[in-house]
């Protein structure tokens, strides 16, 4: 098994005729993902990569029975693209776009919830079920099928950790880059529970970073609900207070959201915390 995506995923790319959308659509298709179409307003009736292009997501879903969408739409229009996908009946929406205004994401996320759909992102690398399906921008060659679930706020750290896992013979069941913005779709607790319930996942790697209290909340959730081994890494351990580091959500303020506090909460919950990404495989073995 895997969570969220597998061989039955039927994917459309919103923004497939753009540079990034077309480039990554080809990568996902080459990996074996079932790319069934794309959207680009005004270009309906054309084709890209051997699949049809539609003017709207509604048209795409009606013609292809797509159940998943990935969004490569510029930030001013991305929230509308999320809501269009949810309204058309897409069940899993993955938004790669960064720089979307937070209030726009709040509105889009609430709409997605109303439509009982699922959102990953925005500002995320997407997700991979190795050997089955790639929906995102992750470098496919570093992944290996196995039993370690990976959840991460950071895209590039996801790649580094997966590289170390694969190099040490630890394949992955599903890897989810959930994004580092202040407001995103699925977050640690929901994804932890999905991996707890997934028969293929034997252990979980959780990659967090400074800012906010998501890791502290995850620690409390792990202590109460998660029975599988969890190993964590917290980025930003040397960040000075009040200094934003990378993501909009990665900022320490008023003494909260520090790496020290997050590490302490996780260790108190029984989670092994790596000081460097390269330590993660040894902590899992």
Q: Residue 36: give its domain's CATH number.
A: 3.40.50.720
Residues 277 and 143 both lie in one domain: yes
Mean pLDDT of 178-186: 92
Residues 149 and 279 both lie in one domain: yes
Distances (CA, A) of 81 to 64, 113, 160, 243: 18, 15, 30, 32
Half-sphere exposure of 29 (CA within 13 A, CB side): 17
Does residue 9 carry a pLDDT above 50? yes
Residue 210 pLDDT level (bands cut at 50, 70, 90):
confident
Half-sphere exposure of 10 (CA within 13 A, CB side): 14
The reported pLDDT for the residue numbered 134 is 98
Residues 27 and 61 both lie in one domain: yes
Residue 22 burial class via C-beta count within 10 angstroms: exposed 0-12, middle 13-18, buried 19 and up: middle
Residue 242 pLDDT level (bands cut at 50, 70, 90):
low
Tell me, rounded to whole angstroms, the distance of Cα 141 from its chain centroid.
Answer: 18
Residue 55 forms part of a structural domain:
yes
Tell me, rounded to whole angstroms, the distance of Cα 54 from its chain centroid.
Answer: 25
Residues 239 and 174 both lie in one domain: yes
The number of domains in the chain is 2
Q: Report whether 137 contacts 175 (CB < 8 A).
A: no
Does residue 26 carry a pLDDT above 60? yes
Q: What is the mean pLDDT of the chain?
A: 93
The reported pLDDT for the residue numbered 252 is 47
Check which CATH number belongs to the domain holding 162 and give it. Answer: 3.40.50.261
Residue 246 pLDDT level (bands cut at 50, 70, 90):
low
The reported pLDDT for the residue numbered 253 is 45
Helix/strand/coil for 262? helix
Residues 161 and 270 both lie in one domain: yes
Longest dimension (CA), the chain: 57
Mean pLDDT of 107-114: 98
* DSSP labels, 180-201: -SSS-SS-HHHHHHHHHH-TT-
Mean pLDDT of 35-55: 98
Residue 23 forms part of a structural domain:
yes
How many angstroms separate the CA atoms of 175 and 164, rounded?
14
Does residue 69 carry a pLDDT above 50? yes
pLDDT in tens, 129-176: 999 999 999 999 999 999 999 999 988 999 999 999 999 999 999 999
Residues 142 and 280 both lie in one domain: yes
247 tagged catalytic? yes
Residue 238 pLDDT level (bands cut at 50, 70, 90):
low
Residues 112 and 158 both lie in one domain: no
Residues 279 and 143 both lie in one domain: yes
Nearest Cα residue to 33 out of 148, 157, 137, 172 = 137
**Token representation of residue 137:** 């921008």
The reported pLDDT for the residue numbered 244 is 54
Q: Report whether 167 contacts 141 (CB < 8 A).
A: no
Residues 233 and 149 both lie in one domain: yes
Does residue 99 carry a pLDDT above 80? yes
Mean pLDDT of 20-40: 98
Residue 129 forms part of a structural domain:
no
Residue 32 pLDDT level (bands cut at 50, 70, 90):
very high
Residue 248 pLDDT level (bands cut at 50, 70, 90):
very low
Mean pLDDT of 24-39: 98
Does residue 109 carry a pLDDT above 60? yes
- Dihedral sign for Cα 181, 183, 187, 189, please: positive
What domain range includes position 223? 138-284
Residue 29 forms part of a structural domain:
yes
Residue 257 pLDDT level (bands cut at 50, 70, 90):
confident
Phi-psi region of 257 (alpha: psi -120 to 50; beta: other; left: phi over 0): left
What kind and span of H or E run contains 95?
Answer: strand 92-95
3-state DSSP of 154-171: CHHHHHHHHHHHHHCCCC
Q: Which of 24, 164, 225, 247 is catalytic?
A: 247
């Amino acid at each position: 098994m895997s969570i969220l995506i597998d061989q039955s995923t039927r994917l459309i790319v919103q923004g497939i005729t753009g540079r990034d959308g077309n480039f990554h659509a080809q990568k996902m298709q080459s990996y074996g993902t079932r790319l069934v179409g794309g959207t680009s307003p005004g270009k309906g009736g054309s084709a890209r990569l051997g699949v049809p292009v539609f003017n709207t997501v509604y048209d795409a879903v009606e013609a292809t029975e797509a159940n998943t969408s990935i969004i490569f739409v510029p930030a001013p229009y991305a929230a509308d693209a999320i809501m269009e996908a949810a309204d058309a009946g897409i069940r899993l929406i993955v938004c790669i776009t960064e720089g979307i205004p937070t209030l726009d994401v709040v509105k889009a996320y609430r709409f997605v919830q109303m439509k009982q759909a699922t959102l990953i992102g925005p500002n995320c690398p997407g997700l991979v079920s190795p050997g089955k399906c790639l929906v995102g921008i992750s470098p496919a060659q570093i992944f290996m099928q196995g039993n370690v679930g990976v959840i991460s706020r950071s895209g590039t750290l996801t790649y580094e950790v997966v590289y170390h896992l694969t190099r040490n013979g630890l394949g992955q069941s599903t890897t989810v880059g959930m994004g580092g913005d202040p407001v995103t779709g699925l977050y640690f607790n929901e994804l932890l529970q999905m991996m707890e319930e997934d028969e293929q996942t034997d252990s979980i790697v959780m990659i967090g970073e400074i800012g906010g209290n998501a890791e502290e909340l995850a620690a409390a959730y792990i202590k109460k609900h998660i029975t599988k081994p969890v190993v964590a890494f917290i980025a930003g351990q040397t960040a000075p207070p009040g200094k934003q580091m990378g993501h909009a959500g990665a900022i320490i303020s008023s003494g909260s959201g520090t790496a020290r506090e997050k590490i302490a909460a996780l260790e108190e919950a029984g989670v092994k915390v790596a000081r460097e990404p390269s330590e993660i495989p040894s902590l899992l073995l």
